[in-house]
Structure 1
Amino acid sequence: MLERQFNGKRVREGRIFRGITITELAEGLGVSKQMISKYENNKAIPTFEALFSLTRILRFPKEYFYEESVEVKTGNTYFRSLLTTGKKDREMQHDRVKYLTIMRALLEEYVDFPELDLPDFEEDKLEDIEEVASKLREYWGVGDGPIKNIVYLLETKGFVMSSINLGEKTIDAFGSHHEINGKQYYSIILGNEKRSFFRRQFDVAHELGHKILHDPYLNLDDLSKEEFKQIEQEANDFAAAFLLPKESFLKDVLIHPTDLSYYKLLKKKWCVSIGAMVMRAYKLGAISQSSYQYMQRSISQQGWRQVEPLDEIKEVKDPEAMKQAVELLIENDYMTGDEFLEKLSQHYGLSLFRDEVEELLCLDKGYLITETPIIKENIVSLKARTVRAVNENEI
């Protein structure tokens, strides 16, 4: 039997996944930063004690550091986040969305998911964002009315989606393009920190905008701050145009364009935040600049930047497809939770702890625990005449 080889790349991958610096990891292991670098570049192999500390600090199974993941061609990750979000916080999420896509590939061996269904847009036509949004609505057959649940819509169109606790309030969502075994995927992870259905609608549409408008292999590190702002604005413009189609939204908003109380009614209908609708109305020319500025001041004064009216009436819609797939397999005895984790490790080179997998797949905590049937092997038993006596007393 061949001895398994330590995979130093997994040290770096796991360290970035957890947001831990080389210095922090070195201090935790009680070694030098140079030694961590040697581990990551396969120039040295950790001792048993160091490996044990790695698994504890980075919170990955020992097998994780001896595996070679299935080949995944990964595009850049587009974030719905503040410009102040640091590079470290962004880097932490790159492999999270990749791991989700690997799980999708495994599940597709057993479950039929909708295929990724998007029209082909000519590159020179992407500049007209209003037209692109309209064409996508037409292609998907959703008309010009409100999108009642964009998470559900994208899952029916083959997008891979999850919703998790990111522990980072500056990131609302992120997504990226992947290719596994020649198949194309686009995966989106939503943050659970801001639990507003209406804001989530826009977050998802923003990520959809990146998929439609922007090159999946564009090197974002090469962009200037102004160029980065531009692609973010394009994604925002697409989200607004897709969720609030020009003609039908204008027809509604022009009834009372400057009355914030009226926007509460529009929020119920269009399933989009008041802030996003006011911005859309301004950009469409339904309200003047002075009216827009006054409305923005009113929104701030009333505290609507954090929580808007009606936010509490609508339950946040989390992704369902991946969760349903696992439940189908387990409830119908195709495999146990342990077998799922084993296949993820052996077939796709990805060993993760159960709770991490459950979170990425939107499963209830503990769902993948495999219950071991209790086999009773009694040492003693009732005598035959005792059983007879009991039966006679019952007659």
Structure 2
Amino acid sequence: MFERDFNGERLREGRIYRGFTITDLADELEVSKQMISKYENGKATPTFEALMKMTNVLNFPKEYFYEKPVKVKVGSTYFRSLLSTGKKEREMQYDRVKYISIIRSMLEEYVEFPELDLPSFSEEELNDVEYVAKKLRNYWGLDDKPIKNIVRLLEKKGFVLAALNIKKRTIDAFGSNQEVNGKSYYTIVLGNKKSFYRRQFDVAHELGHKILHDNNLDLDDLSREEFKQIEQEANDFAAAFLLPKEGFIKDVSMHPNNLNYYKQLKKKWCVSIGAMVMRAYKLKVLSRGTYDYMQRMISKNGWRKQEPLDEIKLLKEPIAMVQAVELLIENDYIGKNEFLHKLSHDYGLSLHRAEVEELIGLEDGYLHQTIDEQPENIISLKQIRQINDKTS
């Protein structure tokens, strides 16, 4: 897939990936904005010196700028904080999730991942979020049981999950529909690290978007009110999915007005106290007056930022692609260099080792080639003195 012609579209992609405007990159390369535009539109080719600066500034291998990657069809991408997240910050993430899907597609040449496993829903059913959540629970055999680790659950059901260090603090998580080589994926990217319990809700929220909303919905065309509506629907789904109506009512009704009791429920249901109080109110277990009072107490206790148990329970990270890479490399199905070469040659995606490690969630330095250990010596050199005695 390596081509000799400079790929201006790839320059644009890499620039946006790193969060550079045309002006930013022009300043770094010490050229005009017009020249950057010419590079990106294929009307000019950078000199060798400009190319070297480009690779350093954007931190991509030089091959990256000459490749044509495999086609990835991108559907709707749902950001939980769309209203407070600028277009620039959102665009920075689009290619990250695209690259994750490409790596997943390559790994599937070697490894059997679970296929995406979702029931079908009629248009009429999708209007009833409570019913949709219950149907999905039954389909997956969850019944009224708590979901102890939704990250692992969704990986087992064929979703692609990744955890990235996203500098923009407003991006909690987002989900994106992707199609690579004719196969559809739904990738959920976990952003800034919250507590285990809040992450549970974030993931369930993105699952709700996948089920409830049109894969080809253009979010930029939605009004502020329409966007708020689909966000509320995803929130309602997450609450209903994590806290099934019958099972949760049975538990919460014992001491619905006691916030200390919700600490115990939090251990069982693995959902934040704030989400459980909201769910109890919507299920009419709490009156409006009691709900308002409990919300004031949550604020007074400082639980908006951190709740009890948040500092104890460790975050659960995605493991499916990490396991796949380690399985291949540790069993010598593919070497570390070969892995990166195949990604470049067959999929048109040359990335530095550290970049791939971050996208997949591998331990830092895992893909760096190590020098083979020297074999145990069977022979040794004779002492110089013995050699000299024989030759004298």
* Length-normalised TM-score, structure 2: 0.94
The one-letter code sitting in structure 2 at the alignment partner of 1:218 is L
Q: Which residue of 2 aligns with 1:38?
A: 38
**What secondary structure sits across from 1:308 in the alignment?**
coil
Alignment partners' CA distance in 1, 2:104 and 2:132: 28
Once the two structures are overlaid, the 10-residue window that deviates more, 194-203 or 204-213, is 194-203
1:195 deviates by 3.5
Let me know the Cα RMSD of the aligned residues. Answer: 2.1
Alignment partners' CA distance in 2, 1:266 and 1:119: 29
The one-letter code sitting in structure 2 at the alignment partner of 1:230 is Q
Alignment partners' CA distance in 2, 1:144 and 1:314: 22
Instruction: Call closer, same or farther: CA 1:184–1:384 in 2, change over 3 Å.
Output: same
**Deviations, residues 85-126 of structure 1 (Å, cap 9, x unaligned):** 212111111111110010000000011110111111112321
Alignment partners' CA distance in 1, 2:187 and 2:241: 19
**What secondary structure sits across from 2:34 in the alignment?**
helix
**What secondary structure sits across from 1:313 in the alignment?**
coil
Instruction: Call closer, same or farther: CA 1:155–1:386 in 2, change over 3 Å.
Output: farther
Stretches (4+) displaced over 2 A: 80-83, 372-377, 383-387
Q: Which residue of 2 aligns with 1:282?
A: 281
Contact 2:3–2:68 (8 Å) recurs in 1: no
Alignment partners' CA distance in 2, 1:91 and 1:288: 43
Q: Is it true that 1:10 corresponds to 2:10 in the alignment?
A: yes
Q: Is it true that 1:205 corresponds to 2:207 in the alignment?
A: no
Contact 2:149–2:200 (8 Å) recurs in 1: yes
1:385 deviates by 11
Contact 2:159–2:187 (8 Å) recurs in 1: yes
Alignment partners' CA distance in 2, 1:243 and 1:131: 13
Show structure 2 runs of 5+ residues with no match: 388-392
- Taking every aligned residue pair, what percent have the same amino acid on both sides? 68
**Deviations, residues 336-361 of structure 1 (Å, cap 9, x unaligned):** 11111111000000011110100111
1:82 deviates by 5.9
Q: Which residue of 1 aligns with 2:170?
A: 170
Alignment partners' CA distance in 2, 1:134 and 1:364: 37
Q: Which residue of 2 aligns with 1:307?
A: 306
1:335 deviates by 1.1
Matches within 5 A, 1:54-73: 54-73=54-73
Contact 2:10–2:64 (8 Å) recurs in 1: yes
Alignment partners' CA distance in 2, 1:169 and 1:260: 29
**Deviations, residues 225-269 of structure 1 (Å, cap 9, x unaligned):** 111111111111110010001111111111111211111011000
Alignment partners' CA distance in 2, 1:61 and 1:49: 14
How many residue pairs are counted as aligned between the two chains? Answer: 385
Alignment partners' CA distance in 2, 1:299 and 1:167: 28
Show structure 1 runs of 5+ residues with no match: 388-395
Alignment partners' CA distance in 2, 1:57 and 1:168: 20
Q: Which residue of 1 aligns with 2:326?
A: 327
Q: Is it true that 1:106 corresponds to 2:106 in the alignment?
A: yes
1:80 deviates by 2.4
The one-letter code sitting in structure 1 at the alignment partner of 2:312 is I
Q: Which residue of 1 aligns with 2:256?
A: 257
**What secondary structure sits across from 1:311 in the alignment?**
coil
Q: Which residue of 2 aligns with 1:49?
A: 49
Q: Which residue of 1 aligns with 2:87?
A: 87
**What secondary structure sits across from 1:352 in the alignment?**
coil
Matches within 5 A, 1:1-395: 4-81=4-81, 83-191=83-191, 193-373=192-372, 381-382=381-382
1:144 deviates by 1.1
Alignment partners' CA distance in 2, 1:30 and 1:9: 20
Alignment partners' CA distance in 2, 1:33 and 1:279: 51
The one-letter code sitting in structure 2 at the alignment partner of 1:356 is E
Contact 1:358–1:367 (8 Å) recurs in 2: yes
Alignment partners' CA distance in 1, 2:71 and 2:386: 66
1:15 deviates by 1.1
Alignment partners' CA distance in 2, 1:294 and 1:18: 45
Alignment partners' CA distance in 2, 1:336 and 1:69: 22
Alignment partners' CA distance in 2, 1:101 and 1:67: 17
Contact 1:111–1:325 (8 Å) recurs in 2: yes
**What secondary structure sits across from 1:186 in the alignment?**
strand
Contact 1:67–1:349 (8 Å) recurs in 2: yes
Contact 1:336–1:368 (8 Å) recurs in 2: no
* Length-normalised TM-score, structure 1: 0.94
Instruction: Call closer, same or farther: CA 1:106–1:3 in 2, change over 3 Å.
Output: closer
The one-letter code sitting in structure 1 at the alignment partner of 2:30 is G
1:129 deviates by 0.4
**What secondary structure sits across from 2:80 in the alignment?**
strand
